[in-house]
Amino acid sequence: MIPYVNEYDTPECNTLAETAKKSIRTPASLGLDRCIQCGACTASCPAARFTDYSPRQIVKKVMENDRSVLESEMIWSCFYCYSCNVRCPRNNSPVTIVQVLRQMAINEGIGVEKLAYFLEIGEYLAENGASKVPGAGVKNMERDLGERWIRFKKNLESTRVELGLSSRDIRNTNGEVQAILEATGYFEREKWIKAKIQEKRLHRLLKNQCINKENKSGDFSFESDREYSGQPAFTI
Amino acid sequence: MKAIESIPDSQLLLFKSCMVGQEYPGVETSTRYVFDRLGVDYCINDKQSCCTGIGHYTDVFEGLTTTAIAARNFAVARSCGYPNITCLCSTCYAINKEACEVLNTNTEIREKVNSIFREQGLENLVYEKDDMNPRTNFYHAVEILLSKVNEIQKQKKFDFSGVKAAAHHACHYYKVKYLDVLGNPENPQLIDTIAAACGAEPVRWYEDRTLTCGMGFSQLHLNKDTSLQVTKTKLDSLQKAGVELMIHMCPNCHIQYDRYQPVIEEEFDVKYDMVHMNIAQFVALSMGAHPYKVCGFQTHSVPLEEFLEKKGIV
Ligand code: SF4
Ligand code: SF4
C-alpha cells in the first residue's frame, strides 16, 4: 500500500526538522533550531522517569534528520502532558514534535496497530457529536474497575436524569460534524489505517508465526545516557 | 499572564465535556449550580460538539479535522451570542484555544477549512480572521470561580475548615498555552485559593505537585503500567502529606485518580486515605448543594460517604 499523505500534520519537506516546523501540530514559534540539548525536557518528563524514553534524544534525532526515530517505540511513550513544553528554556516543544513524528510513522504504516483501539471515536463522534471511551477501553475498565463502575455505568442514564440532565449526552449537530469528518478526510484515513492494520496482521501471519517477539522495551539505538561515563572529575 | 480582573462573567458558553457527561455528570450540574448563584450569565448549547481532544491526542484525528470541528463550535458560540467559551475540561480548553490561534494566523488552513464549509453548504460556519480572540474568548470554568472567590466566600453555607486538601492543576490548562494562564505554571495556586476561601487547609508543597496525572490519552490503554506508576507517585506523596481531599479541574485527571485509585491499591498493595472531587463540586458543596442530587457523588469510584459524614455534610 502507498503511504498516506497527511498534508497539514506532516507537510512534505526535505528534513524532519522542516516538517516539524511547518506542521499544524507545532506552534509557529517552535524553537527547534534553538534547542541547546540542555535536557530540561527529559528532567521534567514523566515517561523518562519510568522508562528509557527521552524527549531530548528525540529532538536530537530530529535535528540530525535521523529517520530511524520513526521506527522507535519511544515515540509511543509520550503522555502529551506538555511538561517539556512549559519547561523548555528555548521555546522548543518536544511534545508537539512527537505528535508530528507519530503522524509521520502512521503515514508509513508504522505503529498503526496502536490506533486500532481508538478508531471507534470517529464514528461515535459523527453520530452523536460527542466522544466516548472506545469499546475496548470500556472492557479494560470493566475488568480493572469492577462491579462498582459497571453498576454506575448501568445507572448512568437515570443518574443523569436525577441530576436534571438529558438521559444521554447526545449533541444536536445536524449532520454537520459528520460532514466535516467526511470532508476533512477522516473516514478515508480511517479506512486506510484499518486496511494497513489488516495487511500487517496478514503479513506477520504468513511470515513468521513462531519467531520470538523482539524485545521492544529497550533503547533502540539511541545513545544511552547511562553508558556515558562522563568527564573525569577535576580534582585540585 | 492573564489578569484576574479580565475574567468575564457574562456571555459564557459553558462548553459541554464528553468525559464529564459520561463519567462525572455532577461536575456539569455543580458548575451550573454555582454559576446560577453567582449571577454568571452563561448558556449551554446542544449544538456544540465534542472538541475532538480524545481523538486528537490519541493520534487518530488530523490537525485539519480538529481545527474544522473547533471552527464549527466557534460559530455555534458566536451565533447564540455567547462567544466566551468556558470549558469544564482542560483538554477542551487547550484544543479550542490552539485551534483559534491556528485559524487566525495560518491563512492556508483557514481558507482550507472555509472552503470545506462552503463545499458542504455550511456557509454559516465560515470563520473570518479574528472572529474569535485566543486570549479573550477562551476560559476554564475554574477561572470564573476564582474571579468570584469573594462572592463564593460570602455565600458559603458549609465551611471546610480543618480539611487538608491538595490541588491537582491540569496540564492542559497550565502547560500548553503557559503564557496565558492565571498565575505561575510552576507554582499554580488556582484551586488552592478557592479551596482556602471555602475554609479548607491547602497542602501547598507536596512532592511532584506539577506531575501529570498519568492518563496520557493512549498511555492508560497502551502502557498501563507506566501510566499507573505515574499516578501512584502522586498518590504516594499526597498520602505522605496527610491529604484527605484531592481537588481536580479536569475530568481526565478525575478519572485517573478517582477510578484508578482502587486499582492501584490492589495492584501495588497500598492503601490511600484521600477522596476526590472536582473544584466545581467542592464549591457547590460549600454553597449548600446536595451531594447526590447536584454534585453527583454516586458516580465516583472512591466512595465519599465516610468523608461527608465525618465532615458533617450528610
Ligand atoms: S528543554 Fe528545550 S532546549 Fe533543552 S533539550 Fe529539551 S528541547 Fe532542547
Ligand atoms: S509531553 Fe511527552 S515528552 Fe513532554 S514531558 Fe510529557 S511525556 Fe515527556
What is the band of A210 on the pLDDT scale with cuts at 50, 70, 90?
low
**Same domain for A96 and A35:** yes
Asked, for residue A224, whether it belongs to a domain, the answer is: no
Predicted pLDDT of residue B314: 81
Q: Per-domain residue ranges for chain B?
A: 8-139, 157-310
Sign of the alpha-carbon dihedral angle for A94, A96, A97, A101: positive
What the block records as the C-alpha cell of A84 is 517539556
Question: What is the CATH topology of the domain spanning B8-139?
Answer: Glutathione S-transferase Yfyf (Class Pi); Chain A, domain 2 (1.20.1050)
DSSP symbol at A214: P
- Closest CA–CA distance from residue B192 to any residue of chain A (Å): 21
Domain end, chosen from A110, A129, A151, is at A110
Q: Assess A224–B contact: CB distance below 8 Å, yes or no.
A: no
Distant-in-sequence, close-in-space partners of A109: CB < 8 Å, separation ≥ 6: A1, A3, A196, A199, A200
Give per-residue pLDDT as tens, A112-129.
Answer: 999 988 998 999 999 999
Greater confidence, A139 or B154? B154
pLDDT mean across residues, chain A: 88
Q: How far is A203 from chain B (nearest CA, A)?
A: 22
pLDDT in tens, A78-124: 999 999 999 999 999 999 999 999 999 999 999 999 998 899 899 99
Same domain, A193 and A128: yes
- Ligand 1 shell residues, CB under 6 Å: A 35-41, 56, 59, 88-90, 92, 94
Lowest mean pLDDT among A77-91, A167-181, A210-224: A210-224
> Is pLDDT of A227 > 80?
no
**Structure pTM?**
0.93
Could you tell me the pLDDT band of residue A209, with boundaries at 50, 70 and 90?
low
Q: What is the ipTM of this complex?
A: 0.96
Name the closest residue on chain A to residue B71, using Cα atoms: A180
Q: Give the ligand 2 atom nearest the CA of A41.
A: 5
Q: What is the pLDDT of residues B257-310, one digit of tens each?
A: 999 999 999 999 999 999 999 999 999 999 999 999 999 999 999 999 999 999
| Nearest-by-Cβ selection for A159 from B25, B61, B171 | B25
Q: Is residue A212 part of a domain?
A: no
Domain limit, last residue, from A110, A133, A161: A110
The domain total for chain A is 2
Question: A104 with A123, same domain?
Answer: no
Query: Looking at chain B, which residue has its C-alpha nearest residue A23?
Result: B63
Same fold, B8-139 and B157-310: no
Is the pLDDT reported for residue A231 higher than 50?
Answer: no
Q: What percent of chain B has pLDDT over 70?
A: 100
pLDDT one-digit tens code per residue, B28-75: 999 999 999 999 999 999 999 999 999 999 999 999 999 999 999 999
For domain B157-310, the CATH architecture is 3-Layer(aba) Sandwich (3.40)
Minimal CA separation from B125 to chain A, in Å: 10
Do residues A82 and A142 share a domain?
A: no
Lowest mean pLDDT, pick from A177-191, A219-233, B151-165: A219-233
Query: Best interface-test mutation with B: which of A96, A163, A165 has the largest number of B CBs within 10 A?
Result: A163
pLDDT at A226 (0 to 100):
40
The three cell numbers of residue B153 are 466566600
Contact A86 B174 (CB under 8 A): yes
Structural domain boundaries, residue A28: 16-110
Question: Are A147 and A82 found together in one domain?
Answer: no
Residues A101 and A130 in one domain: no
| A146 shares its domain with A199 | yes
Q: Between A100 and A200, where is the model more confident?
A: A100
- The rounded distance, in Å, linking the Cα atoms of A78 and B215 is 11
Of A78, A110, A142, the domain-final residue:
A110
How far apart are alpha carbons B60 and A106 in whole angstroms?
A: 9
Computed over every residue of chain B, the mean pLDDT equals 96
pLDDT for B63 equals 97
Q: Is A61 among the domain residues?
A: yes
Q: What is the pLDDT of residue A6?
A: 82
Grid cell, residue B36, equals 446560577
Check whether residue A121 and residue A106 sit in a common domain. Answer: no
pLDDT confidence of residue A137 = 84
In this predicted model, what pLDDT tens digit does every residue of B178-210 receive, in sequence order? Answer: 999 999 999 999 999 999 999 999 998 899 999
Confidence of residue A218 (pLDDT cuts 50, 70, 90): very low
